[in-house]
Amino acid sequence: MTQFTDLPLDPRVLQAVAEAGYTTPTPIQMQAIPPAVEGRDVLGIAQTGTGKTASFVLPMITRLQRGRARARMPRSLVLCPTRELAAQVAENFDKYAAHVKLSKALLIGGVSFKDQDALIDRGVDVLIATPGRLLDHFERGKLLLTGIEIMVVDEADRMLDMGFIPDIERIFGLLRPGSFQTLFFSATMAKEIERLTKAFLRDPVKVEVARRATAAETIEQGLVMIEGSRREAEAGEKRAVLRALIDAEGEACTNAIVFCNRKVDVDVVAKSLRKHGYDAEPIHGDLDQSQRTRTLDAFREGRLRLLVASDVAARGLDIPAVSHVFNFDVPTHSEDYVHRIGRTGRAGRSGKALTIAAPRDDKLVAAIEALIGREIPRVPVPASPASRRPAAEGERREPRQDRPRTRRDERPAARGGAAEGPGPQLLAPRPEERRQDEETPAAPSPRRAGRGDDRRRRPEEREDRVVGMGDDVPAFIRMSFEERLAG
Ligand code: AMP
């Protein structure tokens, strides 16, 4: 079996790898490192958890040993879809570059431009960035990309989900043609991704490693069907079922991730769990960076039991094994199911993944079962969903399911779905809106400059709440003029 020492890596990189406790390279590392060190383009088809980060970071460090960084002209660029993933790549870089002298800068939202500019001005070897933030810096004239020798695109499929492909194309166009190597990673090869690789990669070495679907074998899975006859009643019913499931697992549930499809639900579910006395915190792209870091640290260190997350926010997070995954919603993309449940049962530990599904999720469930190649066992809703503590006087209780709800935090997002006519369906989010979770894709430059994110948000997430109407503002009042016309 190949050892790290058999790979053509700089001895100081090998030393750092040994200190990290790794002896055997993972399959993606074994196959991608030699051509990457040689300077070839690499197309890696691999998911998080396969060791893909080291498969590009280690060759980068080895290759960047020769040469020096110049002011404002970084020598390599790693593009990541989310801040968390970018921060993790940066952490990996620090770990593996412990014995070499290379500088890096992390360009992500939520961090001041001034500090980032100062780093770039001094010259960096490695720039790790989300596409929107990188273009912001470029447009401010603070950055030149013509010195890039190595370009890495990480999690391209997630970039596609988030609408970043035009940004990626634009960034490729800012590099000096023919003078850089590309290392390109994606978990899947959608048509659009294939088009991108054909346009920008030169005779790449294609490396594909097994999907994580196999990991699902070690995980106990269950599907809980709720009645969910009316969309309005469904969210409340799901929250009650979630509590019942957590209670039924008892102490076996040491730590868990609760996945929601939409970030608006991430907040609602976390709030609801807390209200019922559970130790839960949300994580999604609208929280500021320090809050996200605090929440993640608490979860990693075992001080937080339940992390409520969206797929995008959780993507790429290096979280040690969790005992349970609860899918508050059936994921719209079946691959996300595999990602989600792969968070439990890691490294031979036993894990349990329970999914809450409504009758309308039938097609999604069938797609997931086709992907994992087996049926998810149906499990009954555990008896009497008990509240941890009664709601204090004056505190809101769960909505009664027979009452039309108008609570702001439970209303589905406005816009889209107009074909289904008036009523709750009118307010259903369009599928693509569910994915716009973390970073907002770059719009043409004049629109980006100096404008907050607010205008791109769904009405119920905007800051411009209607004063004097409490939480019970009818949806149409929150809609913009264009949205009302579109509706
Ligand atoms: P990644 O797929 O890059 O997100 O890596 C998943 C996890 O595997 C991270 O926690 C890495 O630190 C770890 N890892 C990476 N390479 C190895 C290796 N060769 N042996 C053991 N663990 C590794």
pLDDT given for residue 54 in this prediction: 96
Q: Give the distance (Å) from ligand 1 centre to CA of residue 272.
A: 35
pLDDT of 102 > 90? The answer is yes
The mean pLDDT value for 138-146 works out to 93
* Structural domains of the chain in order of their starting residue, each with its CATH number: 4-208 (3.40.50.300), 219-388 (3.40.50.300)
What would the pLDDT profile of 280-336 be if each residue is shown by its tens digit?
Answer: 999 987 888 788 889 988 998 889 999 999 887 776 566 767 899 999 999 998 878
Q: What is the pLDDT of residue 180?
A: 97
Mutational pocket test of ligand 1: of 94, 318, 339, the residue with most ligand atoms within 8 Å of the beta carbon: 318
In terms of pLDDT, which residue wins out, 404 or 109? 109
Confirm if 399 and 405 have CB atoms less than 8 A apart. yes
Whether the pLDDT of residue 155 is over 90: the answer is yes
Q: How far apart are CA 77 and CA 86, in angstroms?
A: 11
Q: What is the mean pLDDT of residues 18-25?
A: 89
pLDDT on residue 370: 79
Considering only 71-85, 234-248, 316-330, which range has the smallest mean pLDDT? Answer: 316-330
Segment among 14-23, 38-47, 221-230 with least mean pLDDT: 221-230
29-64 pLDDT per residue, tens:
999 999 999 999 999 998 877 889 999 999 999 999
The sign of the dihedral angle between the CA atoms of 303, 308, 313, 319 is positive
Ligand 1: residue whose CA is nearest its atom 6: 49
- From the CA of 88, give the closest atom in ligand 1: 4
Per-residue pLDDT tens for 326-339? 999 999 988 788 88
DSSP line for 65-80: TSS--BTTB-SEEEE-
Q: Give the CA distances from residue 252 to residues 223, 322, 391, in Å, rounded to whole numbers and listed in that order.
A: 18, 11, 26
Query: Over 80: is that where the pLDDT of 228 sits?
Result: no
Average pLDDT of the chain to the nearest whole number: 79
The rounded Å distance from CA 318 to ligand 1 centre is: 9
CA nearest ligand 1 atom 15, residue: 51
Name which residue sits closest to atom 13 of ligand 1, judged by CA. 51
Distance from residue 440's CA to the centre of ligand 1 (Å): 28
Express as a percent the part of the chain with pLDDT over 70: 74
Q: Is 117 exposed, middle or buried (0-12, 13-18, 19+ CB in 10 A)?
A: middle
- Name the residue among 207, 212, 216, 154 with its Cα closest to residue 185: 154
Tell how far the Cα of 277 is from the centroid of ligand 1, in angstroms: 35
Q: Go through 46-68 and write b for each residue having 16 or more CB atoms within 10 A of its CB, e for each that does not.
A: bbbebbbbbbbbbbbbbbbeeee
Cα 29 to middle of ligand 1, angstroms? 10
Instruction: With CA atoms as reference, report the closest residue to 432 among 442, 440, 424.
Output: 440
Between residues 485 and 216, the one the model is more confident about: 216
Whether pLDDT at 72 is above 90: yes
Distance of alpha carbon 2 from alpha carbon 32, whole angstroms: 13
Residue 379 has pLDDT above 80, yes or no: yes
Task: Show the tokens assigned to 229.
Answer: 């006859």
Is pLDDT larger for residue 384 or for residue 377? 377
Which of 2, 48, 53 gets mutated to test ligand 1 (max ligand atoms within 8 A of its CB)? 53
pTM to 2 decimal places: 0.56
Q: Provide the pLDDT for residue 106.
A: 95
d(CA 265, CA 281): 12
